[in-house]
Amino acid sequence: MTELKNDRFLRALMREPVDVTPVWMMRQAGRYLPEYRATREKAGNFMGLCGNPERACEVTLQPLERYPLDAAILFSDILTIPDAMGLGLYFETGEGPKFKKTVRSEADVQALKVIDPAKDLPYVLDAVSLIRRELGGRVPLIGFSGSPWTLATYMIEGGSSRDFRHAKQMLYNTPERMHQLLDTLAQSVTRYLNAQIRAGAQAVQIFDTWGGALSHAAYQEFSLKYLAQIVEGLIREHEGRRVPVILFTKGGGQWLEAMANTGADALGLDWTTDIGAARDRVGNQVALQGNMDPSLLYAQPERIRQEVSSILASYGKGAGHVFNLGHGITPEVDPEHAGAFIRAVHELSIPYHG
List residues with catalytic annotation. 27, 31, 40, 77, 154
Residue 2 marked in a binding site: no
Q: Based on the number of CB atoms within 10 Å of its own CB, is 258 exposed (0-12), middle (13-18) or buried (19 or more)? A: middle
Q: Known binder of ligand: residue 154?
A: yes
Q: Is 30 annotated as a binding residue?
A: yes
Type of residue at 232: E
322 exposed, middle or buried (CB, 10 Å; 0-12, 13-18, 19+)?
A: buried
What is the C-alpha separation between 287 and 323, in angstroms, rounded? Answer: 11
- What residues does 90 pair with on adjacent strands? 98
Is residue 13 within 8 A of residue 284, CB to CB? The reply is no
**108 annotated to a ligand binding site:** no
Please tell me whether 229 is known to bind a ligand. Answer: no
162 known ligand binder: no
Could you tell me the CA-to-CA distances from 320 to 44, 51, 231, 264 in Å, in that order? Answer: 41, 35, 19, 13
Q: How far is 91 from 87, CA to CA, in rounded Å?
A: 13
Report whether 205 belongs to an annotated binding site. Answer: no
Are the beta carbons of 249 and 228 closer than 8 angstroms? no
Q: Annotation-wise, does 27 bind a ligand?
A: yes
Determine whether the annotation assigns residue 166 to a binding site: no
CA distances, 235 to each of 97, 138, 195 (Å): 30, 23, 9
CB of 148 within 8 A of CB of 189?
Answer: yes
Residue numbers in the known binding site are 27-31, 77, 154, 209, 327
Residue numbers in the known binding site for substrate are 27-31, 77, 154, 209, 327
